[in-house]
Structure 1
């Protein structure tokens, strides 16, 4: 970081510091959550990823905790964004919100680490790091794999596109990618593309203006097979009623303190 607060990043995500990648991802997810939390919660939109209350730990601190105690690789952090887009497209009613983000992240990290890393942790370790029980993580892992249709692979070109997009859209405008082989740079207030060729199929999707639409990040529409919309199950209705009851109790409990 220079005196102006600008943070220079390498052109390739593989060369970036993992904490800077966590910062970029957390900024994107926090803005996504802020948008999606305004979408009315419907019983049919409940999933295994929904918590009764939003965790008190921030997305950034949660990512840093996972990186520190689970030795997560950079590719797994960026894959979380790819999985967000893929699952949101296949499950139109699912939203990454303050109630789903943390459980989604730990499930994504556990799955991607097993799929792409030579060394990974046990589910019991991921569960302790993520602050959930082993039984919960096992259920989340199965739900995650079903939702993603076991399509865990992603090209480095697409992950690089996520990296570039994270820098372009960062809320502070302090991050900039400097090409070591030229004077060009990419920053959050710049429209200049990187020297490398960009994949043709993915496109950047800006935050939707309608609160009825979920917001995605970068999506390859050619690979998607959205699930048909279904009505809420009895289990979802019961879980929705319990969640609504717990949310209504929380303000009253705070008022009595």
Structure 2
């Protein structure tokens, strides 16, 4: 019963997550004026020459439909994307890289979270790229994260709350106070939500190791 209810909620999660990513990507499209930063973006494996014709919502629905990863993987992928944006300020999430970042983040999340998952070749077909490309993207993404893959329960629930705020944003009527607070947390340049407490993260790592 719980699994059925969770599955029925997933399309809503897809809508909210795609809305967050779309807004962040559009806000970052014309953000960087520094020539060196632009060159860094163009040299990134995630940067496409053109904006993909498929919408972010449709792309995310396609991933959800075919990869069969657990529901929590999408939240963890959201966490990873925010960590990547924070650690790579010269590679802000925009319309030229968000699709590749998304398929890669879901792949890494599925490998970290699930006992079983499809191989890179399958994810490449779902994402519309080659197996060789997704192999490179996975490695670049992991190094971009600093291999910081663990997600604490507190962090997981905080990002769930961010998506819940997005749900309220998309559901009229909107109160001015809600709109202001949500825009502050979700529309930071290059970031999806907030900076995690790294000290808390390292403390949790020591507890796990002990």
For 1:80-159, list aligned pairs within 5 A.
Answer: 80-159=77-156
Q: 1:205 aligns with which of 185, 189, 194?
A: 185
Please state which structure has a larger fraction of its residues in strand: 1
Query: Unmatched 5+ residue regions in structure 1?
Result: 1-9, 175-186, 193-203, 225-257
Question: Which residue number in structure 1 is paired with residue 205 of structure 2?
Answer: none
Deviation (angstroms), 1:124: 0.5
| Cα distance change of structure 1 residues 191 and 39 upon mapping to structure 2, 3 Å threshold | closer
Question: Which residue number in structure 2 is paired with residue 44 of structure 1?
Answer: 40
Deviation (angstroms), 1:43: 0.6
In structure 2, how many angstroms separate the alpha carbons of the residues matched to 1:190 and 1:76? Answer: 32
Query: Unmatched 5+ residue regions in structure 2?
Result: 179-183, 201-210
- Aligned residue for 2:170, secondary structure, equals coil
Name the larger-Rg structure: 1
Query: May I ask how many residue pairs the two structures share in their alignment?
Result: 186
In structure 2, how many angstroms separate the alpha carbons of the residues matched to 1:190 and 1:120? Answer: 43
In structure 2, how many angstroms separate the alpha carbons of the residues matched to 1:190 and 1:40? Answer: 29
Deviation string, structure 1 residues 137-194 (Cα, Å, up to 9, x no partner): 00000001111111111023322221222222344225xxxxxxxxxxxx975989xx
| Cα distance change of structure 1 residues 16 and 220 upon mapping to structure 2, 3 Å threshold | farther
Question: Which residue number in structure 2 is paired with residue 214 of structure 1?
Answer: 190
Cα contact 1:37–1:97 (8 A) shared by 2: yes
For 1:23-62, list aligned pairs within 5 A.
Answer: 23-40=15-32, 42-46=38-42, 47-62=44-59
Please state which structure has a larger fraction of its residues in helix: 2
In structure 2, how many angstroms separate the alpha carbons of the residues matched to 1:218 and 1:25? Answer: 15
In structure 2, how many angstroms separate the alpha carbons of the residues matched to 1:222 and 1:142? Answer: 22
